[in-house]
Amino acid sequence: MGIKRTVILFPAAFLMNISIMMINFAVIFFLKDRVQLSPSVIGLYFAAGSVGYAGLCLALRPVQDRIAPPVSMVISIALTIFSLLMMKSTTNPYVVFIYYFIFAAAPAFYWPQVMGWFSYGLNHDELGTAVSRFNISWSTGSLCGPLIGGFIASYDIMLSFYIDLAIIGFIGIILVFGLIFIKDMKEFPRAIRVVGDGPSTHATGLAPDTKKDDLINNGEGTFLRFPGWIGVFSTYIVLGMINNIFPLYIRDSLNLNETVAGNLLFVRGLVTALGFGLLGKFVNWHFNKKIMLITQGSTVLILILLLFVKSVFLFYFLFIIYGLLFSMAYSNGIFHGSAGAEARGKRMALFESFLTTGTVIGTIIGGYLYQFLSIQIAFALAAVLVLAGFIVQSVMMKFADKHNLK
């Protein structure tokens, strides 16, 4: 068996998320200390960047299948390098906003295409295993980014930009290497029509020999994608607060340094990566409605407990539990969004827009409520929103049972 494209795509996902998370962590303190912005405005910067990413994901959906994944990834890399070079060279808040917006939106050319590319030709159990390995790749990058960013920020924030440029450049190099030397890299989704009653050859995830029996609801996929996406949306509300606002609370309210904040985010990410690994070894969570509800309800409980915690040790404990819940919610969203569906690239773009919208809401709520009230009030409102998601999921599942929806 020849070398598979995942040998390139999974390390590229790892490195890209290191890049994004490291810069996002550094930008929190860059905006606070060098650009002199308040927590609420910092929240708006991150929210605007997330909106740009989600909006571009949706804008690209109609043409997603017409852009070859390697080309799309190169566009993302070029935009990222450009925005980093420009952002590090100014402290003008309006100029910084423009270049951060470009940096945040650029991955819209990257993640949906990578997701569609690595899952090309895979179905059911194979897809579940591949999704698990992909999740381990990006989530490991997610945990390493804040850890590295925390150490660097406590030493020199600007160094983060130079290291990030080197990482992005290396991603471009390994992508070119794979396209030249790995045969399997030549196989990626293309815009192909379905002819007559023949096998599906839709561009975004199913191989030409895919049988109709492998599809669900004539290629629309499982109804469980909707409660799965609600779970992802909910957990990303919490993640927006934790990643983009919580580090300011750790440093400015608890008088701890950036390294402590980075370590907390590292532990959360580490547990999430381990959770993805465990989920890849089991299939009993596939199409399991009760697990979705348990995950959602447990997230509400974690947020309630966060209202009363100020000890770093207890933060570690709760972040460990949240990391496991996050891995379950994310896996449900991405698996049920892909399982039995034809248009996987487009479906993953929609998936990314849902999680990004959750990040936007969490970041704005976190920034404003932390500045004007407290981080505890922010967590309380997040608990209410996640609880509302739990109720909607329950109604959806009862509806599905009543109408025998797959």
Report the CATH number at residue 182: 1.20.1250.20
Please say whether the beta carbons of 145 and 19 come within 8 A: yes
In a domain, 254, yes or no: yes
Question: Can you give the C-alpha Rg of the chain in angstroms?
Answer: 21
> Is 196 within the bounds of a domain?
no
Q: Give the number of domains in the chain.
A: 1
Whether 224 is in a domain gets the answer yes
Residue range(s) defining the domain that contains residue 386 = 6-190+201-402
What φ, ψ does residue 200 adopt, rounded to 5°? -65, 135
Which amino acid, 191? Answer: A
pLDDT value at residue 347: 65
CA gap 339, 125 in Å, rounded: 10
Is residue 70 within 8 Å of 188, Cβ to Cβ?
yes
Number of residues assigned to the chain: 406
Q: How far apart are CA 146 and CA 23, in angstroms?
A: 9
d(CA 159, CA 85): 12
Residues 6+ apart with CB under 8 A from 216: 222, 339, 340, 341, 406
- 53 belongs to a structural domain: yes
Q: Please report the pLDDT score of residue 150 as a whole number.
A: 80
Q: What is the DSSP letter of 221?
A: -
The residue type at 345 = G
pLDDT of residue 106: 92
Tell me how far apart the alpha carbons of residues 383 and 327 are, in angstroms, rounded to a whole number.
18
For residue 281, tell me if it sits in a domain: yes
Q: CA–CA separation, 403 vs 341, rounded Å?
A: 20
206-248 confidence digits (pLDDT tens): 444 444 444 454 445 567 778 888 888 888 999 888 888 888 8
pTM of the model: 0.71
pLDDT of residue 380: 93
Which tens digits make up the pLDDT trace of 17-66? 999 888 888 888 888 888 888 888 888 888 888 888 878 877 887 777 67
Which whole number is the average pLDDT over 77-81? 94
**Which carries the bigger pLDDT value, residue 1 or residue 175?**
175
Q: What is the pLDDT of residues 248-258, one digit of tens each?
A: 888 888 877 77
Q: Confirm whether 195 is domain-assigned.
A: no
Task: Name the residue with higher pLDDT: 217 or 202.
Answer: 217
Percent of the chain at pLDDT > 90 equals 18
pLDDT at 205: 41
Distance CA 394, CA 121 (A): 33
Which of 30-39, 128-137, 304-313 has the lowest average pLDDT? 128-137
Report if residue 1 sits inside a domain: no
388 within domain boundaries: yes
Neighbours of 34 (CB within 10 A): 13
Mean of the per-residue pLDDT values of the chain? 79
